Structure 1
Amino acid sequence: MAKTNKATAVHCVARDTKNIAYPSSRESETIFIEDGNAHFHTLKVVKPTFELISLQLLDRLSSKPDVIFSTDSYNKIPIKAQERFRRGRREKFLIERGHQRKPMDFKLFLQNDDNKLQMVRMLERVWGSQSAAKRLHGRKLFLVNQGIVRHMKCDDGETVHPEEVHEIRSNQEETDSRVVLYLNYAKENNYKQAVVSPPDSDIFFILLHHAHRLAPLIVFFDTCGSDKRLYNMSELEEDLGSNHCEA
């Protein structure tokens, strides 16, 4: 079966659109939806311990006051894991404490699902600690761990009080499958705009398909990577027409 080159398809659909300026993130008008697993893989200089890596990832988000940091779920028999299993299992690394040093090859570490799950649990532990309190003060950061969403709430800059957000809990395995749920949450909570930063092109077409249903929320697609571009998906859907985008 022929495989679609989605990056080429994105270029064809959006070839006449202009690159636009990043939207304002002031006054909680904008929420950013981040693929946490993509952040793991794109760390260029990785801090030596798991606690420092967790804070390093949090610092990456410092310019974005309101963020949903979504990570994949790892079930006992995950559908997506079958492909990874065929490529070969990688060694499980036991994370026992935050001050523990990471393995030499962090990318190899990330090839094991158990390791990634432990990394997300470490994020939740560190982001919920006093070490992260000042970084979280005055912000809305939502961490997704195994589909369960927690608002890492800090009102005083000293103590973090994680609060579960039931409205966006999901049993879908990947962030791609939850994006529309997150965007509906943004719409219902009166955000004016949302910026989605995915690791690949799949979400571009998901957003294009759903953009008109999300109005008046304005949805942006951030390509990230070396060829960084920002697309206004709401405007693009309007230009192409909803019938065309839903085909």
Structure 2
Amino acid sequence: MIKKYKALAPRLHVVSSVKAIHERAQYVDVTRAKAGLETESYDGQHHKDLRPSEIKKSEKRVEQTKSAIQSFLNPFDVSDYDKLYCISSGAHVPHSVERDVMTAEELGKQAKGDFITHRLETKENYFSPVNKMKLKTFQSSTRTVKLKTAQNKIITYKQHSSVALQLLVKSQGHGRVDVDELLKYPLSPVPYSLGTADGYMAKNDKSKGLQFLVKDLDNAPIPLDGNTMLIQDGNALFHTLADIPNNFMFIAQRIFDSMPKGIDLLFSTDMYHEGSIKDMEREQRGASEKLIIRGPLTKKPADWRTFLMNAENKSQLVDVINDVGCSDSFAPKLAQRKVVSVVYGLYSDQEETDTRVILYCAYAQEQGYDGVRIRSPDSDVFFIALHHARKFELTILFDTGTGNKRRLINISDLARQYGQVMCTALMALHAFTHCDSTSAFKGIGKIKPIKLLQKSEVFQETISELGDSWQISNSLHKGLEVFTCAIYGKGRFDSVDAARVAILKEKCGGADGNILLTRNVDLSQLPPCQEALHQHMKRVNY
């Protein structure tokens, strides 16, 4: 029997092979046709990447890539060309670093010429040492800390994202280090999860939170009854001007002409105080030289965006707008319009329009308006208005974006849908995860924390307490710590220090419990330690 089957085996193999060549493709085509799929054979005319499903995937990936690029700082879009900027932080470097970086090539060529002249041509001191030029680089602008060793030697510790981790790994071979105790400290002068190496706050795209909340909402109808007051963010309007006129009188007229007709308007601009909590953010955005505006006929600056980087320049611009608007020559443009010169009830020492918007809403309600429309691109305004919306009887609309992306959001309806606790929690969360004066958690973004907040009433109650008191209570501190663990994917932990250890061991922990340097783990991937998180809480609470 065995011999018989062996004799038949080659024949069976040939038959099956022959069928596979000319029949299997037909079976596939018939099956596809029955299923309503492609009926044409694959003869090279159809490529996998041309399938509708693949095209849809590719378009989605392109949109994701575009969104990521748009959220980055543009290192080539710098208006202050007189300074050298660091791409990683967006901040300009000290003058000494700038001088050495910009002249390095010239100094190198000069040194080469000196070597040829004094060593090769004269053949004197040919074998003498060549002195190294100690030029400063971008690395020189990072924070350094001087430490004393046990032998009283002074060493300099420079901050790098993975140096502390490498030291930790190497130390495991010379005696066990208590990792749990070690990770209770930030291990760097500036916590990498909250800041950059040169001491600036970490940033993310803060508009993502607003976009996520309103992505499924329909645009509110534009009010037509004329009983709605428009609140215009003046500073935002300055940045949208194009084709700047020749002098400041025409610039002021252009600003007036850009405002809508037939509606009561409140034009609000920012103030600039010394020692402001926003000074670091303004420094990171860049600064420019002060321009003296001697009157409305002063010529326009050569670079408008650079001009707006100086706080005093913007203050002078506001003064010119006021002077032009109150001049006799401008009176015909204001004919048949309601002009309110001084409203003492609107006086405020708040720096920005962001917070003064609520005062303007109260004024609009007092004057009998049915609603207000806030025109601003700033997501800070949206979250502040959302928190206060339920206090007003009028309708609050948020007008943001430009062109095809312009949106009109009914904040009052959204506030009624969410409830007061959720609205307050969203405003606090916006500050906790990054606004202009607070740091972001690197790699976390805005959307993930909002999703966690939406799923947990406990988190909503906890985060809504931020800002209620100057002191952070123990219960609030613990609740925020638990929430921080959750946004890093450690929802079962109640201590950020313990979460740091767990994440580190997941990334480079060996089977024997030792830390292995299997890959370069950036300290910014860990949550901040408890002490650093406490300082972050205090700044957010303020």
Q: Given the two structures, how large is their TM-score scaled by the length of structure 2? A: 0.39
Q: Distance in 1 between matches of 2:258 and 2:300?
A: 19
| Counterpart pick for 1:16 among 216, 222, 236 | 216
Q: Distance in 1 between matches of 2:209 and 2:401?
A: 17
Tell me by how many angstroms 1:104 deviates. 1.5
| 2:380 pairs with 1:202 | yes
Q: Distance in 2 between matches of 1:64 and 1:81?
A: 38
- Trace 1:32-111 onto structure 2 (pairs within 5 A): 32-85=230-283, 88-111=286-309
| 2:368 pairs with 1:190 | yes
Q: Distance in 2 between matches of 1:87 and 1:246?
A: 29
Worse-superposed segment, 77-86 or 8-17: 77-86
Structure number with the higher strand fraction is: 1
Runs of 4+ displaced beyond 6 Å: none
| Counterpart pick for 2:421 among 232, 243, 246 | 243
Tell me by how many angstroms 1:21 deviates. 2.6
Q: Distance in 2 between matches of 1:108 and 1:21?
A: 37
Larger RCO of the pair (alpha carbons < 8 Å, separation 6+):
1
Q: Helix, strand or coil for the counterpart of 1:246?
A: helix
Query: Which structure 2 segments of 5+ residues have no match?
Result: 1-193, 195-201, 426-542
Q: Residues 77 and 25 (structure 1 numbering): CA distance in 2 closer, same or farther, change over 3 Å?
A: farther
Q: Distance in 2 between matches of 1:91 and 1:168?
A: 32
Q: Residues 43 and 16 (structure 1 numbering): CA distance in 2 closer, same or farther, change over 3 Å?
A: same
Q: Distance in 2 between matches of 1:39 and 1:22?
A: 20
Q: Helix, strand or coil for the counterpart of 1:32?
A: strand
| 2:309 pairs with 1:131 | no
Q: Residues 74 and 210 (structure 1 numbering): CA distance in 2 closer, same or farther, change over 3 Å?
A: same
Q: What residue in structure 1 maps to residue 412 of structure 2?
A: 234
Tell me by how many angstroms 1:223 deviates. 1.0
Structure number with the higher helix fraction is: 2
Worse-superposed segment, 4-13 or 196-205: 4-13
Q: Distance in 1 between matches of 2:220 and 2:291?
A: 43
Q: Residues 25 and 129 (structure 1 numbering): CA distance in 2 closer, same or farther, change over 3 Å?
A: farther
Q: Distance in 2 between matches of 1:231 and 1:210?
A: 15
Deviations 1:65-92 (A, max 9, x none): 3111101112344442343245554111
Tell me which structure has the larger Cα radius of gyration: 2
Deviations 1:140-198 (A, max 9, x none): 45xxxxxxxxx3xxxxxxxxxxx321101110111101110110000111100100011
| Counterpart pick for 2:396 among 214, 219, 222 | 219
Q: Helix, strand or coil for the counterpart of 1:164?
A: coil
Query: What is the identity percentage for the equivalent residue pairs of Structure 1 and Structure 2?
Result: 40
Query: Please, what is the CA RMSD of the aligned residues?
Result: 1.9
Q: Distance in 1 between matches of 2:280 and 2:421?
A: 36
Q: Residues 224 and 12 (structure 1 numbering): CA distance in 2 closer, same or farther, change over 3 Å?
A: closer
